Amino acid sequence: MIEFSNGDLRKFVFEVVKFDGRWWINLRQWGRYDRRNEKDWRPTKKGISVPLIRADDFKKAIAELLIDLDRIQKQEAKKNEKKKERTGSRSTNRSKR
């Protein structure tokens, strides 16, 4: 099981589970419904379950998604770099006035 926080009352849980005699890849958001009880985590309806027999397709899709994510992050980093350069040149021009 792999999990990571999505705030104080929510977390994402990735796991492989057996249900009705079949194995599933389960990606689901869990919620804590009793704020006083830190162990009261329950699965929500938000998420997906993929049959384990489709694991190879699922892995390929995730790999492609990660490639797209990397490309998008690089594009955003370039945009932010250009914004910083423009902002830096404006503040330099203002100080020269």
The domain tally of the chain equals 1
Determine which of 16-30, 31-45, 52-66 has the lowest per-residue pLDDT on average: 31-45
What lies within 8 Å, CB to CB, of 31 at 6+ separation is 9, 10, 41, 42, 44
Structural domain that includes position 22: 2-96
Looking at per-residue confidence, does 69 or 92 come out higher?
69
Cβ atoms within 10 A of the Cβ of 47, count?
Answer: 14
Encode pLDDT of 80-93 as tens digits: 988 888 887 665 55
Residue 48 pLDDT: 95
Give me the CATH number covering residue 41. 2.30.31.10
Residue 40 pLDDT: 84
Q: Which residues of 52-91 are buried (b: 16+ CB within 10 A; e: fewer)?
A: eeeeeeeeeeeeeeeeeeeeeeeeeeeeeeeeeeeeeeee
DSSP for 55-67, written as a single string: HHHHHHHHHHHHH
User: What average pLDDT does the chain have?
Assistant: 88
